[in-house]
Structure 1
C-alpha cells in the first residue's frame, strides 16, 4: 500500500514567523542606536555586546549587575491594551537597583517572550525600554525576542531585564562603616506604585467592582492609565550626589516597601527611624488604603507610599543634599534618622 506523502511543514506552520522576527529586529535598530553612549562597541546583531569601561571614564571600576521584571503590572497592560510604558518600568526596576550600590547604569539587555508576534505589541514594549534607557543614561545593547507558540495566551507576553553598571571602588555604597547614630534619611518622590504591590492593587480594583476603563477615583484619567504610570528613573539625581561623597547609603523602595527596603542599607547595630508624618502619601495610596481597608503597617510594607528613593547622609550634610536636590527640581523630604538598636 502506497503511503500518501506528508505535507511539508515549516517553522511558520508550527507558529513561528521568522520574517516577523526579522521585521522586529529592523524596528529595534534605530531605538537601540538612539541610546548609544560612551563605552559601547559595535551595534546589534552580534552574539554578544562589548563595552569599554575606560571610554566610559572609569579608573578603578567595580561592575554591578541587576535583573528584574515588571510583575503583575503586565496584567494591567494586557487589559488596558497599553504597552509603551511597561518597558520604562522594566529599565527603572533594574537601573534604580544598581544605583543602590552607587553604580551608574551602563548597558541594558531585555528578554521579551510571547506566543505570537502581533499587532506591534513588541515594538511598543521595546520603545518603552529604549525610553527607559534614555532616561537612565544607559545603552540598549541587545536582548532576546522569543516567539513560543502555545506558551502564552494571545496578546500576552513576559518581560525581563538585565543591567550592568559600574562604580569606582572608593564610591561603592552603602558605606556602612561610616554610618553613625543621628545620620539623616532623605527621600525623593515616586510617581505612584511604580512596579510593586500590583497583586493587591488588582484585588482592590476587582473588589470595588471597577474596571480599568473606569474614571480614576484619584486622578483625571482612567484607572488603567493612572495605574500604568511608569516608574521614575533616578540616575540623573543620585549619581552627582554619590560622586560628591555626600551619600552614605541609598535604598530603592521596591517590593517590601519602605519598611523592608530601608534597613537593607543600614549596618546591624543601627536601625532607620521613619516619621510617617514627614510627607503626604500620593492620592493613589490614600485611595488604595481606604478602598482596601489596608492597615498603615501593611501599606508601608507593600508600597513605596510616594517615596521612591531614600538617602542616608551625615547630619551636617543634610542642607547640602536637600539644596542640590531642590536645584534639580525635586522636593526632598527629611524622613527620619538612624538610631541605635
Structure 2
C-alpha cells in the first residue's frame, strides 16, 4: 500500500507558517487571529474619511535576492503604501502585508518581516495582520513576492487635493534616499546586464558596493507630514514621486489651468542616476519618466508658506529644495534648466 501523502509533501508546511505567526506575535500579540482590530478616533473631525492604498516593491526584490539581503525590502513595502496615504493629508492608521513564496524559508521570511515591522515603526502605523502563503507551482523555487495594504484617516473637509493651486504658487521637493522602489527593471538592465557589474561590485562614485546603493530603503515621509501639520503650513498639493517620475506624478495634483515648471538644476542629481544614464546610455527624458532623480516627495504651496515648510523639513530630518513654480497652463509638468 502506498505511503499516505501529506500537505507538506505537496510543498506547503503548516508548521513553518505557524513559526512565522509565532514570531510576529512576539512583536504584536494581536496578530494571528482571523482579522485585526483597530480603535478609530474621529474626535474633532467634521467629515472623517478612511483612506486606503496598496502597492509592492517591484523587481527591487530581485536585487535583494541576488545580494542575499532582504533586511530592508520590508521598509520599502511600507514606504510605498504609506507615502501614498500622506499625499491627501491622511494620518496612517495601520498596515497589512501579503508575503507569497514557492516554499517558506524561515530565515528569509523573518528578515523580510523584520523590515516590514521596522517600516511600520518609522511610519507610526502598526502591522495588525497579513497573509503568508506557500504556493508551490505558482512561484518558481526560491521566488517570492510582497504586497502591502495601508489604511489612514483624514478629515474630508481638510483633505489635500490640489484644487486650490494657482499661478504664483511654489513647488518644493524633498530629497529621496536613492532610487526608492521604482525603475529597477531599467536599473538592473543597464547596470547588471549591459555594464556587467554585480551587486558585489565596489563603485567609487557611489562610495559603496552597487548592491548597497540599490538597496537603500525608500524614505518614509510620515515625520515630514506631521511636522508640516505642526508648523501650520498650508500645503495645497502633495505628490509621491514613484513610477512616472516627477512629470508623471506631480501632474496628478495639478488643476487643468496651470502647469508646474520644475528647474532640474535646483538640486543635485544623486550619482546612482548619473551612472545609469551614462552607462545605458539612457536619454534624459527617459530617466525623468522612470526615476525620481533625487526628489521623492513634493509639495505645492503659496510663497508665504516657504519659511514654515523649510522649518518643518529641518525638524523632520528631511532636505528640501525650492524646485519650481506654478504658471498658467494645461495641467502639465515641464522640467527645464533655469535661466
TM-score range, shorter chain: over 0.9
CA distance in 2, matches of 1:60, 1:247: 19
Distance 1:202 1:217, change over 3 A: farther
Runs of 4+ in 1 over 3 A off after TM superposition: 55-60
Q: State yes or no: 1:313 paired with 2:298.
A: no
**C-alpha separation in 1, matches of 2:44 and 2:122:** 20
Residues in 1 aligned to 2:178 and 2:43: alpha-carbon distance in whole angstroms: 33
Q: Is the 8 A contact 2:233 2:305 kept in 1?
A: no
* 2:196 counterpart residue number: 209
Tell whether 2:168 aligns with 1:172: no
**8 A contact 1:171–1:242 mirrored in 2:** no
Of 141, 155, 164, 1:154 maps to: 141
- The alpha-carbon distance between structure 1 residues 304 and 121, as it changes in their structure 2 partners (threshold 3 A), is same
Match of 2:54 in 1: 67
Choose the corresponding residue for 2:95, options 85, 97, 108. 108
Give the alignment partner of residue 105 of structure 2, picking from 118, 121, 126. 118
User: 1:61 Cα shift?
Assistant: 1.7
Contact between 2:58 and 2:182, CA under 8 Å: does it hold in 1? yes
C-alpha RMSD of the superposition: 1.6
- Between the aligned partners of 1:121 and 1:331, the Cα distance in structure 2 is 33
TM-score using structure 1 length: 0.92
Q: How far apart are 1:331 and its partner, in Å?
A: 2.6
Q: Kindly tell me: are residues 7 and 47 of structure 1, through their superposed partners in 2, closer, same or farther at Cα, counting changes over 3 Å?
A: same
1:135 aligned to 2:122? yes
Partner of 1:40: none
Q: After the TM superposition, which residues 161-200 of structure 1 pair with which residues of structure 2 at under 5 Å, given as runs?
A: 161-176=148-163, 178-200=164-186
Q: 2:78 aligns with which of 91, 101, 104?
A: 91
Counterpart-to-counterpart distance in 1, 2:272 and 2:26: 36
Q: 2:2 matched to 1:15?
A: no
Partner of 1:238: 225
Unaligned runs of 5+ in 2: 330-339
Pairing of 1:301-340 with structure 2 (within 5 A): 301-340=289-328
Shift of residue 47, structure 1, vs aligned partner: 1.6
Aligned residue in 2 for 1:249: 237
Q: What's the TM-score, normalizing by structure 2? A: 0.92
Q: Separation in 2 of the partners of 1:32 and 1:336?
A: 44
1:38 paired residue number: none
Mark the runs of 5 or more structure 1 residues left unpaired by the alignment. 34-42
Aligned counterparts of 2:152 and 2:54: Cα–Cα separation in 1 = 12
Q: CA deviation at 1:45?
A: 2.1
Change in 2 beyond 3 A, CA 1:329/1:54: closer
Number of positions where the alignment pairs a residue of Structure 1 with one of Structure 2: 327
2:26 alignment partner in structure 1: 30
Q: Secondary structure at the match of 1:218?
A: helix
Does 2:258 align with 1:262? no
For the residues of structure 2 that align with 1:66 and 1:163, how far apart are their CA atoms?
5
Q: Deviations 1:247-300 (Å, cap 9, x if unpaired)?
A: 111000000001111111111111111011111111111111111121221111
Q: Secondary structure at the match of 1:305?
A: coil
Hey, what does 1:225 align to over in structure 2? 212
